Amino acid sequence: MNSEEVKLVQESFAKVAPISEAAAQIFYDRLFEVAPQVKAMFPDDMSEQRKKLMATLAVVVGGLGNLQSILPAASALAKRHVAYGAKPAHYPVVGGALLWTLEKGLGEAWTPDVAAAWTSAYGTLSGYMISEAYGTVQAAE
């Protein structure tokens, strides 16, 4: 990721942060709509899960300018997700739901440049997480 992409991701996330509860609800609703099979990996009461999602995103987005600072946490998260049943093929589904949520939440502020920056950020981190969790970089299908 280049510095302009980092700036676009951080500035756009700052616009989503005030509506983080609604954004998390929209994200999980979308995820379960497009991949209903993953719902079983989550608790019935999603309130804490939604808070964890937004807190994790805040840490990751805040650390994008110094990627090395967030990689240990991303590695640990990826390894925990294996125990929950996550597979490499889930990563692009989650990414799609995240980008869709951001597009809905940002409205006109979701520009092609912002979309590209988020796509780059998610691709970078999900590729790293897949590598950490499964031992090799695998093409997510």
For the chain, give every domain's residue range. Answer: 3-134
CA–CA gap between residue 79 and residue 126 (Å, rounded): 12
What own/partner pairs with CB < 8 Å and gap ≥ 24 does 49-53 have?
50/21, 50/24, 50/25, 51/24, 53/24, 53/27, 53/28
CATH superfamily label, 3-134: Globins (1.10.490.10)
Q: Give the pLDDT score at 112.
A: 98
Positive or negative CA dihedral for 24, 26, 27, 33? positive
Q: Give the pLDDT score at 122.
A: 96
Closest listed residue to residue 62, CA positions, set 122, 123, 126, 6? 6
Instruction: Say what the pTM is.
Output: 0.90
Per-residue pLDDT of the chain (141 residues; tens, 9 = 90+): 899 999 999 999 999 999 999 999 999 999 999 999 999 999 999 999 999 999 999 999 999 999 999 999 999 999 999 999 999 999 999 999 999 999 999 999 999 999 999 999 999 999 999 999 998 654 443
